[in-house]
Each structure stands twice: as structure tokens, then as C-alpha cells.
């Protein structure tokens, strides 16, 4: 069924209201009254609620749909996904392996821009969720695997291995075999001790070098009469970038 985005202009950093409408055959209720189904069928343009509030309607893009996928395990924030893409340079030619899939967030985001993604998940419920999210986003190049990545990586000649799980050092032997020379291993760590342990284990492998360890901070700004920082996305994790050099 066709989905639509419905947005109204807000006075702050973000739109005041932003909805993904999943069923355009029914009237839609907003904070400012409802919009009749006939108006929702419009391809794009202005629509009015029952109280006269102005909204704009258009077709959702990948990001609109991505932001509404169902979540169970916490997804890597967009601010960090952007940094992972820019520092590894992955592109439409890249082959990516991801673990654990969790909600499938980063696997799906990567799949939208790379050649193929294999995502490993050990937990049955999360595995089912990942398949549901892949389907909801209409992605054909991402393979969800119900597997423990600590038992090995099946793919070869991989450009990026993305790890978001508790004991990434258990993957180093198989990551070394799976990655192409020049390929990347990125670990998203929630704690300093885990990042430290990861670095210590990497140093035992002379085929890997640590390229950088960073955190990112996103700060929104309010630009009205007064101009001031408004909303900060706090560092939620440390990104450890490792490169296979031989």
C-alpha cells in the first residue's frame, strides 16, 4: 500500500509534526485535527486539517521509512552511521558484513548504498525483526543470517565488517580471513573498557592497524530572535576504525 509523509513547519530546529501515513484509505488524525482520506491520496502538496492547520504531503524516501522501522535492540544513531560511511568510503561496489543485526538498523542503512550486506544475528526474536525490517524497506541486497558470528564469517573479499556486540575480539581471526587487504573493521563500543580491550586485542594482530578511535557529537541550533544551541545528541558510543593492511 502506498505510504505518504505528512509534515508541518515548526518554529524550532525540527518540524513540529512529522508523520508516516501507512494507510491512505482512512482519515488521518494529527495533533491539530484530522485530514480526510481524499486529501491523503494527493501525490504531493498542501493539505488542511479539520481545524485549518496546513500540512504538506509527499512520497516518503528511504530515510523517512528507515526512521519508522520497528526497533527492539538500540540502533546505531544516524550521526555515527554518517561517520562510518565517510571514514570507510563504502560505496555501491562494497561488500559488507554486519553483526549483531539487532533491529537491522545499520545493515539496512548500508544496504541502501552498497552492493551487498550479510548481517548475523544470534537471537531468534531479533532475527525475525530484522527480516521484517528488510521487507518493510523493500531491500533485496541484504541477507539476514541466524548465526553466531563468533563461530566464523562465511563471506570473503569483504570491504567492511561492522561489529556492534559485546566481545568483538572473538571475531578477529575470522575477520582477518574475510576482509580484503585495505578493508575495514569498525567496532561500535558503548563503554571505554570494551574499546580498550578491543584495542589491546587488535595490537596482537600485525595485519591490522588502528586508524582512528572517535566519538561524535551532534548539536542542533535554534535560530530565531536568539541564536543558541538547542539539542545535543550525546556521544552514545566509541567508533574504533581498524584497517587490514596485509
Ligand X SMILES: C[S@@+](CC[C@H](N)C(=O)[O-])C[C@H]1O[C@@H](n2cnc3c(N)ncnc32)[C@H](O)[C@@H]1O
Kindly state the cell numbers that stand for 243.
584497517
Task: Please tell me whether residue 148 binds ligand X under the rule CB under 6 A.
Answer: yes
Q: In the window 90-119, what residues touch ligand X (CB under 6 A)? A: 99-100, 102-106
Among 5, 90, 110, 121, binds ligand X (CB under 6 A): 121
Kindly state the cell numbers that stand for 213.
578511535
Closest approach, Cβ 69 to ligand X, in A, equals 9
SS3 168: helix
Give the range of 17-25, 58-66, 145-153, 236-244 binding ligand X by CB under 6 A: 145-153
* b (16+ CB within 10 A) / e for 185-201: bbbbbeeeebbeebbeb
Please count the residues of this chain forming the interface with ligand X, following the rule CB under 6 A: 21
How distant, in Å, are the alpha carbons of 21, 108, 245 from that of 200? Answer: 48, 30, 17
Q: Which residue has the cell 541502501?
A: 112
Closest approach, Cβ 138 to ligand X, in A, equals 18
Q: Of 73 and 183, which has the nearer Cβ to ligand X?
A: 73
Among 76, 144, 158, 179, binds ligand X (CB under 6 A): 76
Sheet of strand 158-163: strand arrangement: 142-146, 116-121, 95-99, 158-163, 179-189, 238-244, 208-214
Closest approach, Cβ 122 to ligand X, in A, equals 4
Give the range of 35-43, 72-80, 110-118, 213-221 binding ligand X by CB under 6 A: 72-80
Q: Which residue has the cell 539476514?
A: 144
Task: Please tell me whether residue 126 binds ligand X under the rule CB under 6 A.
Answer: yes
Task: Name the site residues for ligand X (rule: CB under 6 A).
Answer: 73-76, 99-100, 102-106, 120-123, 126, 148-150, 164-165
Amino acid at each position: 500500500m502506498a505510504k505518504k509523509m505528512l509534515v508541518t513547519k515548526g518554529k524550532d530546529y525540527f518540524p513540529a509534526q512529522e508523520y508516516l501515513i501507512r494507510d491512505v484509505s482512512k482519515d488521518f488524525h494529527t495533533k491539530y485535527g484530522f485530514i480526510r482520506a481524499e486529501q491523503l491520496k494527493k501525490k504531493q502538496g498542501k493539505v488542511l486539517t479539520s481545524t485549518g492547520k496546513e500540512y504538506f504531503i509527499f512520497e516518503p524516501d528511504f530515510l523517512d521509512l528507515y526512521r519508522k522501522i520497528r526497533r527492539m535492540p538500540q540502533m546505531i544513531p544516524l550521526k555515527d552511521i554518517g561517520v562510518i560511511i565517510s571514514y570507510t568510503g563504502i560505496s555501491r561496489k562494497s561488500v559488507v558484513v554486519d553483526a549483531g543485526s539487532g533491529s537491522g538498523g545499520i545493515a539496512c542503512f548500508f544496504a541502501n548504498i552498497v552492493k551487498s550486506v550479510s548481517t548475523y544475528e544470534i537471537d531468534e526474536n531479533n532475527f525475525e525483526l530484522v527480516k521484517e525490517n528488510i521487507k518493510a524497506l523493500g531491500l533485496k541486497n541484504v541477507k539476514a543470517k541466524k548465526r553466531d558470528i563468533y563461530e566464523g564469517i562465511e563471506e570473503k573479499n569483504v570491504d567492511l565488517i561492522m561489529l556492534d556486540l559485546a566481545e568483538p575480539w572473538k571475531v578477529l581471526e575470522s575477520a582477518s580471513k574475510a576482509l580484503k587487504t585495505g578493508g575495514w573493521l569498525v567496532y561500535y563500543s558503548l563503554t571505554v573498557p570494551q574499546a580498550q580491550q578491543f584495542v589491546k586485542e587488535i595490537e596482537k594482530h600485525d595485519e591490522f592497524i588502528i586508524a582512528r578511535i572517535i566519538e561524535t557529537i551532534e548539536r542542533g541550533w535554534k535560530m530565531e530572535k536568539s541564536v543558541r544551541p538547542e539539542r545535543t545528541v550525546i556521544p552514545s558510543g566509541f567508533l574504533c576504525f581498524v584497517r587490514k593492511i596485509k
